[in-house]
Amino acid sequence: MHVRWSEADLRFQGEVRAFLAAELTPEMRRATALMTSVYAPHDLSMAWQQILHARGWAAPAWPVEYGGCGWSAAQRYIFASELAAAGAPPLSPMGIGMCGPVLIGHGTAEQKAHFLPRMLSGEHLWCQGYSEPGSGSDLASLQMSATPDGDDFVCSGHKLWTTHANIANWIFCLVRTSQEAIPQRGITFLLIDMATPGVSVSPILMLSGEHIQNDVFFSEVRVPKANVVGKVGEGWTVAKYLMEFERGGGVSTPGLKARLGRIHAMAAAEGLSSDHGFMARLSALAIEIDALEAVELQILSNLSQGDAPGAKSSMMKTVGTELSQRLTELGLQAAGVYGAAYQPHATQPGGPTPNYRPPADQGHVGPDDSLTVAAKYLNDRAGSIYAGTNEIQRNIIAKAVLGL
């Protein structure tokens, strides 16, 4: 598929490229190249968010009245493509990408006025309190309690796999405000200040040795009822709305294409271009990414008209994460012994020196991609689990689209 941009879109593309050339420093590009998960280091992400916010580009998908850009679907896709090609770090998605759209769609005027500007500026960093022990894919079975007491709820329970809870100052939680015969009922969407007495965080280390996920414990935590988003007992509706944006409301294929290009370069440098089996797998991935891109552009067009992604978000999440996992497998094969030798010190003098170095015109500066492919492979195993397992997504598609 070849996308043809209008003259106005090409001018916008030039504007974005000029901005990136001026603002995205070599140090930021280098740190992004060293990323081994889908999340950038906190300091890097916040520094880049400040730069984007100053330009008014931190939340392109938001309505203009709340700080969004008012861009067309084409402009949003061009912006994401240029960020990926330049090696810009991703922003933390829990605030701007998830809780922000929920507040815009379901929050009160007071909640929007208070929280949205602080999300954009980075004053508030958010994490997501959904999964619990025994309540992951079966999220509706969650048991974290919220008992009414005057103007507050008193919350007790345990959330786990909570990304960035160790650095976040706010968490949006699903809590149980009543026990109902149908478990989806009696769930409430609640915003909690992480500095509230009774909140504690314990780290969960990843296979790569990184600290991104956490256990979060709540012991009689008092939360104002004013922090309920939507209606008490109707949090499942709010949560489903949020998960549409978590699973398929962003732009993912430009990042997949950028990674595909880097694997091509590694393969050429390591002599795999003549390996017909390897190149066939790489070409098949390229075709599938193009197909996903076509659907993503359609979803972006619908979003620009105010429509939520709906069940297509489950398809985007399933296909996107599985393509990403296959990319990590080919990246590991292309890197060969250099990928297998990944260690934190490998980017320092004396570490392994593969043939591949990213071309300067790709905007990447610093360490070789092959030095991080092993950690990316390990971390990406979670892709088909987080945001609802891909098995659950297929059930959603079967029910909502196929009527099964």
Active-site positions? 246
CB-neighbour burial class of residue 119 (10 A; exposed 0-12, middle 13-18, buried 19+): buried
Report how far apart, in Å, the C-alpha atoms of 8 and of each of 14, 17, 55, 242, 251 are. 10, 14, 19, 32, 21
At which residue do the structure tokens 């990319």 appear?
327
Handedness of CA 38, 317, 135, 152 (dihedral sign): positive
- Between CA 159 and CA 177, with CA 387 as vertex, the angle to 5 degrees is 45
On the CB side of 278, CA atoms within 13 Å amount to 20
Residues 298 and 302: their CA atoms lie apart, in Å, by 6
At which residue do the structure tokens 């968490």 appear?
171
Retrieve residue 47's tokens.
């520094």
Concatenating the DSSP letter of every residue in 234-273 gives BHHHHHHHHHHHHHHSS--HHHHHHHHHHHHHHHHHTT-T
- Between CA 29 and CA 20, with CA 363 as vertex, the angle to 5 degrees is 75
Residues 6+ apart with CB under 8 A from 379: 36, 37, 38, 206, 207, 208, 210
Among 41, 32, 44, 11, residue whose Cα is nearest residue 83 = 32
Residues 213 and 140: their CA atoms lie apart, in Å, by 21
Among 217, 135, 204, residue whose Cα is nearest residue 171 = 217
Helices (H) then strands (E): counts for the chain: 14, 8
> What single DSSP character describes residue 141?
G
Torsion on CA atoms 322, 328, 329, 335, rounded to nearest 10: 170
Residues 217 and 159: their CA atoms lie apart, in Å, by 6
